[in-house]
Structure 1
Amino acid sequence: MIIRQATLQDHKTLVEFQLAMAHETEGIELHAPTVELGVEAVLNDSNKGNYYVAEVNGQVVSSLLTTFEWSDWRNGTILWIQSVYVMPDFRRKGVYRKMYAHIKDMVMKADNLNGIRLYADKTNVAAQKTYENLGMNQDHYVTFEWMK
């Protein structure tokens, strides 16, 4: 298995993964043209975030997106893991574990990175168990949002 930063050549796969993830985890049918533009925007501007993919025998089987949160308390950046997707046939085989280890290793080696955060749908118990098994804990914050 290879973990690498995604490239423009991964665009189609990343879009497919995002559409599938939203449908599976939240029952949402995303507007594909908007997702296509959103994925492309990240791939063309690393200030927005970075996609990472896992390849098995040359096939991309998983992806995640990291975005950035500045922490004045830490004088550094927190990486947010978002948009995690693992193809069904590759789940429960350590793919996400290896991707998480890759991101954690990046944070450990970079002086300007201070931690990792992510959020999971309240009903996605399987994801929550996975994150806890990797040593992550539920923090004491409650996430609120307003979306246009």
Structure 2
Amino acid sequence: MMIREAKNDDAAQIAAFQLEMALETEHLQLDKNTVERGVAQVFADPSKGTYYVAEKDGQVIASLLTTYEWSDWRNGTVLWIQSVYVRPAFRGNGVYKKMYRHIQQLVDRDDRLKGVRLYVDQTNSRAQQVYEKLGMTAEHYQLFEWMKD
């Protein structure tokens, strides 16, 4: 298995993953065209983020998106991991762990990057256990949000 930065050719698969994830985790039927355009925007404007994929035997089996948060407290950028999806047949085999370690290494090698954050649905206990096993903590912040309809 190889972890790599996604290419524009991966956009359709990434969008399909996002549609599957929304349905699976939140029972939401997202608008396919909106999601496809949203994924395309990341490739068109790198300041929005970077997609990474896990590839095995030439097949993309997982993806995640990193976005950027400026931290004045740390005088640097924190990477947010978002939109994580691993094909069901490959779950429980360390795919996300390998992807996370890849992101962690990017942060370790770049003095401008200060850390990694992510958010997780409060009911997704399986994901929370994975994140805790990787050394992440949930002790500092609670996420609040407002989203317009």
TM over 0.5: yes
Indicate the residue corresponding to 1:18 in structure 2.
18
How many angstroms does 1:29 deviate by?
A: 1.1
Which TM-score applies when normalising by structure 2? 0.98
Residue 80 of structure 1 aligns to a residue in which SS? strand
Structure 2: stretches of 5+ with no match in the other structure:
none
CA displacement, residues 15-59 of structure 1 (integer Å, 9 cap, x when unaligned): 100001111111111111100000000011110000000000000
Indicate the residue corresponding to 1:64 in structure 2.
64
Q: Distance in 1 between matches of 2:100 and 2:139?
A: 18
Which TM-score applies when normalising by structure 1? 0.98
Q: Percent identity?
A: 59
CA RMSD of aligned residues (A): 0.6
Indicate the residue corresponding to 1:85 in structure 2.
85
Residue 15 of structure 1 aligns to a residue in which SS? helix
Q: Distance in 2 between matches of 1:26 and 1:133?
A: 24
Q: Distance in 1 between matches of 2:4 and 2:18?
A: 18
1:29-68 aligned within 5 A? 29-68=29-68
How many angstroms does 1:142 deviate by?
A: 1.4
Instruction: Count residues with an aligned counterpart.
Output: 148
How many angstroms does 1:139 deviate by?
A: 3.0
